[in-house]
Amino acid sequence: MSDVTTHSSATEILRNWAARRPGNDALIWVRDPEKEDATHLTYAGLDEAARRIAGWLLERYPVGSRILLLCPAAEFIVPFVGCLYAGMVAVPAPLPGRFPHERRRVRAIAADSRAAAALTDSANLAAVTEWAGEEGLSALPLAAADTIAPAAAAAFSPPEAGHDTLALLQYTSGSTGTPKGVMISHGNLLVNAGTMCRTLDIPEQARFGGWAPQYHDMGLMAQTLPALFLGNTCVLMEPTAFLKRPHHWLMMIDTYDITWSAAPNFGYDYCCRKVTDEQIGRLDLSRWAYAVNGSEPVQAGTMTEFAKRFSAAGFRPEAAAPCYGLAESTVFVSGAPPREPVVTRVGTDALADGEFRPAAFPGEGRELLSNGTATGFEVAVVDPDTLRRVPAGGIGELWLRGPSVARGYWNNEAATEATFHATTADGDAGYLRTGDLGTVHEGELYVTGRLKDMMIFRGRNLYPQDIEHELRAAHPGLGTVGAAFAVRVPAADPADPADVEEVLVIAHEVMAGLDEAALADLATQMKQLVARDFGVVPDAICLLRRGGVRRTTSGKIQRSAMRELFCAGELSSTYAHLTPGLAASVAAGTATPITGTVVREDRS
C-alpha cells in the first residue's frame, strides 16, 4: 500500500490522484440503492470543482481564514476540498436544525471559529440565511458553493502547505460539554489515515462508504478522506436515509462493493432491531470485510448479535471491527486486522473497584470488547486524580502521545494546556488526556467508559452504557436509546442544607403501543434489573417517546443534557415513576445536575 504520509499535504495527494486517475470515481452519492439511483464524481471532476471554489475564496479572503461549511452529505466534500486547495481552514458543522439547541450550537461554532464566511448549497441557502438572521449573524457572508461560476477557477493558485499547516477545526460533538474546535493539520490527516490503513491491514483497492455525517470525525476523517488519499472511491448516503430505512445502508454496501463501512454502536443495534428477515434475504454482505464500530463505547453483545443476525446474508464474524478513536487524536487510535472479536469477561466486583480482572467463573461478570492495538501511539493508563500510572490490571484514564494527536483547541489555551500537555506524576510529559477510562490487557486496548459519565455509588464504579445496554438486552419493549445518569438532591435532614445525596435516574425511549399498565410493569422490571445486577436502586424511571433522549448530531447520548432537562422538570415522559423525595426535589427546583464523578448511594 502506498504511504500517504510521504506527501507534503492533503492538497498535494488529492491533486496527484486527479492527474493519475482522472476518470476514476472519487465519490458516489447514493439516493436510493434499490434503484441504483446515484451521482458519480470523478477525480478530475472533484479537482475542477475544488479549484473553482478555491479560486472564488482566494479572491475574497486571506489564506488561513476559517470557512464554515453548512452542507448536506452530497454537497459537503467538494467545498471541503476547495478549502484545502485555497489554504483556508475548513470548519465542518451540521446544517442548523429545527430545534433551538441545534441552532445555538451551530451559532457557537461560527462565533468561536471567527468564521470569515459560510458555504452551503443552493437548496439550503434560504434556510441558512434565515438561521443567520435569527442568531445575530446577518453580517456573516453566505454563498451557495454549487452556484460558483467555473470561471472562478482562473484565480486559483495553490498556496504553500505542509504537514504543519492547519487544515480544519473539528468541533467536538458536545456529548459531555461545550464543543471545542480541535485544530487538525494536513500532517494529522495524512498520518492518521496511514496509521488506520496499516493497523487494520486495509487492502490497496478497498472501497469505502457509509452514512456517517461528513461534518463528524468518523464520516470525514475515518471514512471519506482515507479513501481519497488512497485514490479509491467513497460511496455516501445521507444519515437521515439510514434512520428511515436502515437496510438501505446494507444494500448500498452490497450494491457498490464496499469493503470498509463504519457506524457507531447504536447503528448496528438499530439494524438488528429494524431490518427484517425478508430484507436480509436480499442482501449479500460477504464482501464487507471491515464493519467498523466506533465513535461510542462498543458493546460486545451488539457485535455478537449483529454477526448472528446477518450471517444469513453472508456476514462473517471476523468482519466485525471494533475501533477506538476521538477527534483530539484526529480520529483513529486503535483497531485490528480482520479477526473474530476478542472478548474478555471481567468480574463485576473487580470492574466496580476499578480493576480489570477476568471473571473467576464462566458466565460471571461483564463482557468487554477489545479495541485492538494502538500501533501509532504511546499509551499510558493513569489515575486521573493522582496522575500516577496505574499498575498492570488497573483501570485508569487513557493518555496518548503520537503524531496523530492534534495541536490543541482553537482559541482556548487553558483547555489546550489541560488536555494536550498532560504530565504524569513522575514527570513524563506531552500526553493527550482522552477523558476515557480503560486499560491495556495483553497488548489490547479496552475502553470501559467516559470519565465524566462514570458514577460512583458506595465506592463502586458504574458506567451508564453498561446499565443502558443490559436494560435493552432484557426488555425488547425498550427503544434503541436510553440514558442513565445521577442527580444531586437534598438529604433527608432539612436542618443541614449542605447535606446532599445523589440518586440514579434512568430515562429510556420506549416502543409505541404500550398501555399504561404495560409501561408501569416495564418500569418495575427495569428497576428490579438495575438493583439486582448493579446493586443500586434507581430513584426514577422515565419512559420517553422516540426521540426523547437528547443526542448529538453523530448519535452520541448527551447525558449531561438529559440531567439538565430532568432537573428542570422538562422531560416529556410517556410514563414516569419517581420516589416521593426525588419528585419533591424536582418540583421545588432543588434537584441539581452532577458535573463530576462524586456520586454516592446511601440507601439499601
Span 384-438, pLDDT tens digits: 999 999 998 899 999 999 999 999 999 999 999 999 999 999 999 999 999 999 9
Instruction: Over range 443-457, report the average pLDDT.
Output: 80
pLDDT over threshold 90, residue 314: yes
C-alpha to C-alpha distance for 429 and 421, rounded to whole angstroms: 7
**Within 10 Å of residue 315's Cβ, how many Cβ atoms?**
23
Poorest-pLDDT segment among 113-127, 503-517, 589-603 = 589-603
341-387 pLDDT, tens per residue? 899 888 777 877 788 888 777 767 788 899 999 999 999 999 999 99
pTM of the model: 0.81
Residue 594, CA distances (Å) to 31, 369, 385, 565 in order: 43, 28, 18, 13
Can you give the pLDDT at residue 299?
A: 82
C-alpha to C-alpha distance for 49 and 43, rounded to whole angstroms: 10
Beta-carbon contacts of residue 101 (< 8 Å; ≥ 6 apart)? 550, 561
516 sits in which H/E element: helix 516-534
Strand partners, 592: 488
Q: Mutual orientation of helices 125-134 and 100-113 as an angle, nearest 10°?
A: 80
173 in Cβ contact with 450 (< 8 Å): no
Residue 585, CA distances (Å) to 239, 295, 562, 593 in order: 39, 35, 17, 12
> Which three three-digit cell numbers place residue 28?
458516489
Poorest-pLDDT segment among 54-68, 176-190, 412-426 = 176-190
Strand partners, 32: 37
> pLDDT band for position 488 (50/70/90)?
confident
Please report the domains of the chain, with CATH numbers, ordered by start residue: 4-334 (3.40.50.12780), 343-450 (2.30.38.10), 455-593 (3.30.300.30)
Strand partners, 593: 487
Instruction: Over range 130-134, report the average pLDDT.
Output: 92
The two beta strands, 432-441 and 444-450, are antiparallel
266: left (phi over 0), alpha (psi -120 to 50) or beta: alpha
Residue found under cell 445518569: 485
Can you give the pLDDT at residue 313?
A: 97
Can you give the pLDDT at residue 600?
A: 26
Residue found under cell 490527516: 189
The larger pLDDT score, comparing residue 478 to residue 227, is at 227
pLDDT over threshold 60, residue 495: no
Instruction: Over range 225-250, report the average pLDDT.
Output: 95
pLDDT over threshold 50, residue 118: yes
Instruction: Over range 514-523, report the average pLDDT.
Output: 89
Can you give the pLDDT at residue 173?
A: 62
pLDDT over threshold 70, residue 497: no
> pLDDT band for position 129 (50/70/90)?
very high
Poorest-pLDDT segment among 184-188, 300-304, 309-313 = 300-304
Identify which of 427, 413, 422, 533 has the alpha carbon closest to the alpha carbon of residue 484.
Answer: 533
Residue found under cell 409501561: 519
The three-class DSSP label of residue 66 is strand
Identify which of 104, 239, 76 has the alpha carbon closest to the alpha carbon of residue 168.
Answer: 76
The three-class DSSP label of residue 414 is helix
Beta-carbon contacts of residue 9 (< 8 Å; ≥ 6 apart)? 84, 161, 162, 163, 165, 186, 190
> pLDDT band for position 1 (50/70/90)?
low
> Which three three-digit cell numbers place residue 363?
458466565
Helix, strand, coil share of the chain (percent; to 5): 35, 25, 40
C-alpha to C-alpha distance for 473 and 463, rounded to whole angstroms: 16
Identify which of 271, 266, 285, 181 has the alpha carbon closest to the alpha carbon of residue 468.
Answer: 266
Longest dimension (CA), the chain: 78
% of the chain with per-residue pLDDT over 70: 92
* Cα atoms found within 13 Å of the Cα of residue 342, Cβ hemisphere only: 16
C-alpha to C-alpha distance for 526 and 219, rounded to whole angstroms: 35
Poorest-pLDDT segment among 87-101, 111-125, 229-243, 388-402 = 87-101
pLDDT over threshold 50, residue 328: yes
Can you give the pLDDT at residue 359?
A: 78
C-alpha to C-alpha distance for 71 and 65, rounded to whole angstroms: 18
Mean of the per-residue pLDDT values for the chain?
88
